[in-house]
Amino acid sequence: MTPADAAEARSRGYALLAGLWLEGLTPARLAAVRQTPLAAALPETVDLDELAAAHHTAWTLEVLPYAGVFLDTEDTLGGAAQRLLTDCEAAGFSPKTRDTRADHIGLVLGALSFLSGAEADARQDDRGGVATQLAALQAGLLDRHALSWLPPLWVAGRSVGGFWAAVLELTAELLLSHRGAAGEPWALPTLPVGLLEDRKTSLWRIAGVLASPALSGVFLTRADLGRIGRAAGVPRGFGARQQMLANLLRNAAEYEELPALLGQLDALWAERSAAYAALAEVQPVLSGPVQAWRTQAEAIRVLLSDAVTAVNEKA
């Protein structure tokens, strides 16, 4: 396969995956899916309505595939989307943001499809300099807008299971094979100083930190919160993830189950930290991002340990 052929194949692959992430599996897209490794993940009898419902559950209710959900904090809301728009504009690509935010993984894949297609055209026309510039733009998009938050998306998204988990796996494989080499090391925002020592810190604030992947190193799904609550014997209630976590903390304190809840949270963070370590071993391209996310997760584990000590000392 020539470099031009490889770029064209990547462009088609990204386009298919972008459509699956953004719109789900349509009748027209099903024929293309049957020609890919995703065919093995299709149910024996394909019911597009059931797959559409599973798509909604996976990427609207459980795991939110937006860069900003993973990378932004209260102080930087909208930053990830704006950075992507700026980089896309510089690359000559205008993402269609009418139906979704610019930082959706599907739009990132769309940008990579556009640039890969342009690279293929440049190589076919023997415009090596232009092809090199386009390849550099793709590397920048990969590092800043895809691989930077792929570890927590990948680890959390595996839990959705079925066809849509397979779409995530294939997306990760294509992104990693495309990049091929590790980018520069980077770090996530530092945790707030004295979060637990300050008596004025509310449970809502603590829940906000734990529910913010950029600060906690972990994306908490609704299923995670339900499992933690059941194990600790406290209800999670309803609402957004931060509200559910605040409910868990408040109810655990009221029922004197806070050490049990904190222990369950630590177990989940330990599980995700181990998953990151395993990911780094098999995917060296992700070594930089994985290290950043794992460092953040381990910092939260220290915070949770301190919280358990403080609660036990007051008992």
What are the tokens at 229?
């609550």
Report the C-alpha gap between 246 and 151 in whole angstroms.
Answer: 25
> Quick one: which of 114, 131, 135, 124 has its CA closest to 178?
135
pLDDT of residue 315: 55
Report the C-alpha gap between 282 and 97 in whole angstroms.
Answer: 35
The per-residue pLDDT for range 163-172, each reduced to its tens digit, is 999 999 999 9
Report the C-alpha gap between 283 and 76 in whole angstroms.
Answer: 29
Q: How confident is the model at residue 127 (pLDDT cuts 50, 70, 90)?
A: very high
Burial 244-256 (b: 16+ CB within 10 A, else e): bbbbbbbbbeeee
- The pLDDT of residue 174 is above 80: yes
Report the C-alpha gap between 19 and 10 in whole angstroms.
Answer: 14
The per-residue pLDDT for range 145-158, each reduced to its tens digit, is 999 999 999 999 99
pTM listed for this prediction: 0.91
Question: Residue range 239-244: average pLDDT?
Answer: 88
Q: How confident is the model at residue 35 (pLDDT cuts 50, 70, 90)?
A: very high
Average pLDDT, the chain: 90
What are the tokens at 151?
């570890």
How far is CA 5 from each of CA 194, 212, 223, rounded to the nearest angstrom?
Answer: 54, 41, 42
The per-residue pLDDT for range 260-304, each reduced to its tens digit, is 899 999 999 999 999 999 999 999 989 999 999 999 999 999 988
pLDDT above 90 coverage of the chain, percent? 64
Q: What is the domain partition of the chain in residue ranges?
A: 3-179, 203-314
Question: Residue range 83-103: average pLDDT?
Answer: 81
With 0-12 / 13-18 / 19 or more C-beta atoms within 10 angstroms meaning exposed / middle / buried, residue 261 is buried
pLDDT of residue 313: 61
- Could you please report the per-residue DSSP string of the chain? --HHHHHHHHHHHHHHHHHHHHH---HHHHHHHTTSGGGGGS-SS--HHHHHHHHHIIIIII---BHHHHH--GGGTTHHHHHHHHHHHHHT-----SSS-TTBHHHHHHHHHHHHHHHHHHHHTT-HHHHHHHHHHHHHHHHHHTTTTHHHHHHHHGGG-HHHHHHHHHHHHHHHHHH-S------PPPPPTTTTT-TT--HHHHHHHHT-HHHHS-PPPHHHHHHHHHHHT----SSSHHHHHHHHHHHHHHTT-HHHHHHHHHHHHHHHHHHHHHHHHH-GGGHHHHHHHHHHHHHHHHHHHHHHHHHHHH-
Per the CATH hierarchy, to which homologous superfamily does domain 3-179 belong?
Answer: TorD-like (1.10.3480.10)
With 0-12 / 13-18 / 19 or more C-beta atoms within 10 angstroms meaning exposed / middle / buried, residue 34 is exposed
* 293: Cα separation from own chain's centroid: 11
